[in-house]
């Protein structure tokens, strides 16, 4: 029943205003994700900008992503000004914002993706569920890096890749089905008429007649004199 409900809404049959509305939302979410990647690179010191008024702006990369992620949350003794670390208040505020904002984002992206039909069912389930799993792993990795071990930065990197993979499908597939996909208009296969099923009452009557005939006493054989006279 649930699958039938989802199949009733076909993205390519939506009116044009609805298509434009969903398309603009997908584009904005895609741009937002790209800005999130840039924000990660700048906030964690992966990409640094040097600017002095009247001079040229210069950019430099500040080390590997793994090392800078660890320094961002645990701080750095060598460069405390650039990497002061995060205290409990900052960790709580960041986790609160990420859970709510990213949860709503993933939920909204999943709505049009629910009605797609071009992907296998198992892949749709994987993308819908794992996009939320990626958010949970990302937020938990903040705390794991800070209070468990710096090696937990690998979890954060993994969650970012997983979320990017899921968002790629949640943006690209609905866009494709709204504007490029067309349902096959092949003629319906010929349906052969099946023989009418035998009614249960007729079967019961036939069985009852056969049983009655088998239970009836056999007729006595004719005497020998009658046979000779005949």
pLDDT of residue 1: 45
Cα–Cα dist 98/160, whole Å: 13
Q: What is the 3-state secondary structure (H, E, C) of 176-193?
A: HHHHCCCCCCCCCCCCCC
> Mean of the pLDDT values across residues 156-184?
92
SS3 at position 119: coil
Cα angle 208, 212, 216; round to 5: 175
DSSP 194: P
Higher confidence at residue 229 or residue 170?
170
Please provide the average confidence, as pLDDT, over all residues in the chain. 83
End-to-end CA distance of the chain: 77
Cα angle 17, 21, 24; round to 5: 135
- Residue pLDDT, tens place only, 77-117: 888 887 888 999 999 999 999 999 999 999 999 999 999 99
CB 103 within 8 A of CB 109: no
CA distances from 59 to 38, 71, 78, 123, 135 (A): 13, 20, 21, 40, 30
Higher confidence at residue 224 or residue 136?
136
């Amino acid at each position: 029943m649930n699958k039938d409900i989802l199949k009733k809404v076909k993205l390519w049959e939506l009116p044009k205003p609805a298509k434009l509305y969903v398309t603009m939302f997908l584009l904005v979410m895609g741009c937002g994700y790209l800005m999130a990647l840039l924000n990660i690179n700048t906030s964690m010191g992966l990409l640094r900008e040097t600017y002095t008024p009247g001079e040229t702006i210069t950019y430099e990369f500040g080390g590997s992503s793994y090392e800078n992620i660890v320094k961002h949350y645990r701080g750095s003794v060598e460069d405390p000004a650039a990497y002061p670390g995060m205290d409990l208040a900052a960790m709580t505020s960041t986790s609160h914002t990420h859970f709510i904002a990213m949860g709503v984002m993933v939920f909204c992206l999943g709505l049009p993706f629910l009605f797609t039909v071009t992907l296998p069912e198992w892949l749709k389930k994987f993308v819908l569920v794992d996009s939320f799993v990626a958010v949970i792993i990302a937020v938990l990795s903040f705390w794991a890096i800070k209070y468990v071990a710096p090696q937990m930065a690998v979890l954060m990197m993994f969650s970012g890749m997983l979320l990017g993979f899921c968002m790629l499908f949640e943006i690209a597939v609905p866009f494709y089905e709204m504007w490029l996909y067309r349902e096959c208009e092949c003629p319906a296969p010929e349906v052969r008429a099946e023989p009418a099923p035998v009614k249960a009452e007729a079967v019961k009557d036939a069985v009852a007649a056969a049983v009655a005939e088998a239970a009836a006493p056999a007729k006595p054989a004719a005497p020998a004199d009658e046979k000779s006279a005949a």
